[in-house]
């Protein structure tokens, strides 16, 4: 067996990404250390790790966002490296710097690269200097007069964006000059609350673009490669819901062109490790949006169409190893789709759903991957991001991948809370999605995806639920039968199932 890159590594995260990193460590022969807040003491990532350390109460600022506690836990367990996953402190240059100063290895890019790409206005300037196409925009504006002058140069409609942020925080669309000042005040206030930095900048608003990103890997010896693109256009409030690779609109020539630009973007900041360069794509042209200096939630679709374990590559590069391989000219291999399964009610404004998971049956079979941070009996709270798991499938082509995803979603059963499963099923049968007609406005353009079924169907479901419950009480059932009274063979179509709601004995919509 080869010498592991590190004897022991601490995973500074929770949920499915912590489980994902622990699995990569096990394959590399690395002992893993989990950290956990009080509610997570029996979470899957804790149970799967070789060692675990408590780091505080539920509040993230007193546990997963407390860099001092994370570094102390690594020292306590003699871990040599820290993998931050995504979210929390993954893109915090101060934490990355503190890890290095403590004599530990940060599994990620240098702090300077994180800082450069974390400041959106600075990143725009760096990309322009590197010849990367960017959306026309401004530097950070300090007030209404600055903003008005910049708006006149850029033209309407335009977008206000937080200079220090991401994830949709501090973003406002402005379509006329009289909307600018109130939108600016709201954007500055939201940016201050979310990032501690009120600076915002202006950018031309592109109508219905696609969101396409390029995965890059870079080692410490000057090698930077790209692993193709991911289509991430299906979003809600700038949060991705479904991703796929390859994109339905990217051909080999465009892939190579976008890949070269992404490589130049990574080189411009001295990047190392796994990173993602994100673009807006409209009318055949693409524009730099931002660079995520970490592993992405949607990284599995790239792994499935390339065969590269991105998390293991992250760890090897951080340990000082060269990439040692070239991208395969035959990539992408088939087609992959990922659905993010969240503890949210898609028919009620995606409100978070909390409670105990009483039953969990994960899909399986050819080409199915289930990356999960949950298990039966797990208590889902409201303290953290609602992402519970990722259902990822791989097929020979896009149609097979869609059919495989539909089948897998039908197999998935989560009882005790409401999840986004039914929304994803509806998308898999929606004509525009099937045809690859996507944009970042896809969800807004298809409001029927977020509506319950018609009242007659609901009434029929309620009646069926009562009858099923009566039958359940009168008829002994084998151990394998569902405890919520639902039949295993479902007669409704996937679209109809998307609208079935709770009823006595029917179980929660999931």
Which residues are annotated as catalytic?
A: 294
Reading the block at residue 349, the tokens are 């404004």
Q: What are phi and psi of 273, to 5 degrees?
A: 100, -160
Q: In three state form, how does the secondary structure of 239-278 look?
A: EEEEEEECCCCCCHHHHHHHHHHHHHHHHHCCCCEEEEEE
Residues 6+ apart with CB under 8 A from 470: none
CA nearest to 487, candidates 505, 502, 473, 504: 505
The structure tokens 């033209």 sit at 155
Whether the CB-CB separation of 161 and 203 falls below 8 Å is answered with yes
How far apart (Å, rounded) are the C-alpha atoms in residues 424 and 235? 12
User: Helices 120-129 and 111-118 sit at what angle, rounded to 10 degrees?
Assistant: 100
How far apart (Å, rounded) are the C-alpha atoms in residues 245 and 304? 9
How far apart (Å, rounded) are the C-alpha atoms in residues 12 and 37? 11
List C-alpha distances in Å: 316 to 30, 41, 373, 426. 11, 29, 24, 40
């Amino acid at each position: 067996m080869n010498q592991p890159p590190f004897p022991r590594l601490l995973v500074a995260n929770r949920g499915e990404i912590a489980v994902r990193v622990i699995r990569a460590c096990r394959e590399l022969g690395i002992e893993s250390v989990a950290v956990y807040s009080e509610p997570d003491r029996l979470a899957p990532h804790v149970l799967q790790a070789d060692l675990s350390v408590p780091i505080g109460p539920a509040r993230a600022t007193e546990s997963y966002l407390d860099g001092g506690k994370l570094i102390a836990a690594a020292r306590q367990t003699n871990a040599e490296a820290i993998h931050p996953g995504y979210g929390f402190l993954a893109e915090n240059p101060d934490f990355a710097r503190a890890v290095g100063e403590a004599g530990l290895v940060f599994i990620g890019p240098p702090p300077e690269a994180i800082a450069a790409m974390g400041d959106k206005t600075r990143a725009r300037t760096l990309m322009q200097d590197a010849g990367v196409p960017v959306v026309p925009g401004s530097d950070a504006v300090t007030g209404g007069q600055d903003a008005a002058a910049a708006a006149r140069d850029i033209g309407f409609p335009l977008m206000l964006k937080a200079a220090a942020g991401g994830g949709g925080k501090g973003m406002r669309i402005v379509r006329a000059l009289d909307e600018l000042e109130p939108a600016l005040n709201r954007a500055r206030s939201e940016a201050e609350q979310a990032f501690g930095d009120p600076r915002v900048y202006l950018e031309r608003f592109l109508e219905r673009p696609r969101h396409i990103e390029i995965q890059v890997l870079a080692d410490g010896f000057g090698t930077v490669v790209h692993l193709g693109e991911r289509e991430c256009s299906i979003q809600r409030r700038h949060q991705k819901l479904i991703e796929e690779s390859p994109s339905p609109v990217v051909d080999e020539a465009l892939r190579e062109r976008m890949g070269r630009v992404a490589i130049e973007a990574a080189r411009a900041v001295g990047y190392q490790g796994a990173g993602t360069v994100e673009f807006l794509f409209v009318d055949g042209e693409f524009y730099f949006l931002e660079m995520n200096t970490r592993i992405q939630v949607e990284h599995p679709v790239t792994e499935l169409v390339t065969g590269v374990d991105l998390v293991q590559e992250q760890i090897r590069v951080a340990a000082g190893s060269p990439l040692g391989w070239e991208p395969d000219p035959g990539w992408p291999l088939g087609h992959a789709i990922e659905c993010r399964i969240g503890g949210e009610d898609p028919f009620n404004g995606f409100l978070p759903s909390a409670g105990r998971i009483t039953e969990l049956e994960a899909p399986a079979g050819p080409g199915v991957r289930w990356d999960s941070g949950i298990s039966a009996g797990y208590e889902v709270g409201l303290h953290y991001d609602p992402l519970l798991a990722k259902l990822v499938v791989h097929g020979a082509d896009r149609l097979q991948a869609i059919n495989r995803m539909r089948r897998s979603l039908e197999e998935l059963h989560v009882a005790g809370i409401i999840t986004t499963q039914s929304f994803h099923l509806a998308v898999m049968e929606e004509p525009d999605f099937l045809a690859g007609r996507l944009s970042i406005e896809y969800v807004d353009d298809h409001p029927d995806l977020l509506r319950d079924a018609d009242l007659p169907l609901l009434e029929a479901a309620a009646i069926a639920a009562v009858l099923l419950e009566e039958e359940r009480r009168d008829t002994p059932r084998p151990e394998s039968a569902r405890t919520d009274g639902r039949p295993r063979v479902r007669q409704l179509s996937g679209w109809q199932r998307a609208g079935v709601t709770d009823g006595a004995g029917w179980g929660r919509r999931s």
